[in-house]
Amino acid sequence: MTKGLSESNTNQHDQIRQLWLTADCVCFDVDSTVCVDEAIDELAKFQQVGALVEAITRNAMGGNMSFRTALQARLNLIQPTRQRLEQFVKNHPSKLTDGIAELIALLHERNIPVYLITGGFHSIVDPVAKSLNIPLTNVFANQLLFNEDGSYAGFDEEEMTSDSGGKGRAIEYLKAKFGYQRLIMIGDGATDMEANADGFIGFGGNVVRELVRDNAPWFVNSFYVLTDELRNNLLSTVPHRRSFHERKYSTEIEAN
């Protein structure tokens, strides 16, 4: 039994590695994947309700409540006004995970479309996308709504990622619209693993979620692993380039 399971895991690992080398689309989660932190938790700290919101986030990531229920509960506690949100984005720029800029640059070099699919908010995620040269049309995120006086009014429930299964719906949409056959999803959470991509790579560089670590066909703790896998596969076909490990990038995103 153990041997059979081990062989099965090895086969899955080999299959996803091969799929990674031939991917025709790559989708990333944002919080704790592309970026170091969970943006909604950081916004909650900014609004001085951090501990309460983090508890709800943990329950949501563990699959103990629907995403929409958790999102509503967290935002009702945070009550982000338009002005406070703008202050947060300006004063607390998102920090990129080490190696993500290099990886996405390499994917762009290979003309592989890159998408961000997140339960986070456009106002926070869009500056991240711009910094990585990802078109805003390639961002699936939630839209906060405000009253005329700038007070919090809710969020757009028509957005695909506003409810449980939203990442899967976004991936189905992309595959139907563009015909992607080898779409890879990369993320740290159970919602990423369950998004019905052609292949899933679990990421634990910022936080390791046991469910993902134990069930992902390929689990990595550094984006450099994925970059090196692509670069090593390209050594015979592309000119020598300076090692990504030697490059230096700023990891803070300027607000617009």
Return the active site residues. 29, 31
**Residues 28 and 34: beta-carbon distance below 8 Å:** yes
Please list the residues that pair with 35 across neighbouring strands: 31, 96
Length of the chain: 256
Residue 116: both structure tokens together: 């961000």
Cα 92 to Cα 223: distance, rounded to the nearest angstrom? 23
| Phi/psi at 178 (5° precision) | -110, -5
Residue 253: both structure tokens together: 């995103």
**Residues 246 and 240: beta-carbon distance below 8 Å:** no
| 94-128 burial: b if 16+ Cβ within 10 Å, else e | bbbbebbbbbbbbbeeeebbbbbbbbbbbbbbbbb
